[in-house]
Amino acid sequence: MRFNTTIPKRLRYYFLRELVQYRVAFKEGDLLHAWYHLERAHIIGQSYPWEHTYAHWLMLKFGIAIKDTREVLGQLPRLLVGGVKSFVGKIPLGNPGGANVPPLKVMPLPADIQALFRNL
């Protein structure tokens, strides 16, 4: 069994870049693009406990900010379990992490993110 603990430096750059884009869009009130970048950050970081948990924390805060009860309730179990599943390598690759998607559903990776993973 492989344990994931630290995100590779190269992936961390792209994870953080998505979070910056999320914050800018959120601050500008562009909630659609804010969420888009938050989902991408989740996909990039979901194999690593800290990044995965942090993405769900931000999704929970987003749900609270926009008063979306479904998102808030959907993020609570993901927040509690996501990082553990990342640590032991049991994550549904490509899953964007929102409450509108089943938490264990594997989904296709966006082509640019797939290329990031190929070059690790």
Q: What is the pLDDT of residue 1?
A: 52
| Alpha-carbon distances, residue 117 vs 10, 18, 45, 47, 111 (angstroms) | 10, 15, 11, 11, 10
Whether 85 is covered by a domain: the verdict is yes
Between helix 49-65 and helix 9-27 the angle, nearest 10°, is: 10
Whether 58 is covered by a domain: the verdict is yes
Whether 97 is covered by a domain: the verdict is yes
Whether 83 is covered by a domain: the verdict is yes
Domain that holds residue 100: 9-118
What string of pLDDT tens digits covers the 120 residues of the chain? 566 788 999 999 999 999 999 999 999 999 999 999 999 999 999 999 999 999 999 999 999 999 999 999 999 999 988 877 887 778 889 999 999 999 889 999 999 999 999 877
Whether 4 is covered by a domain: the verdict is no
- The token pair at 89 is 């390598």
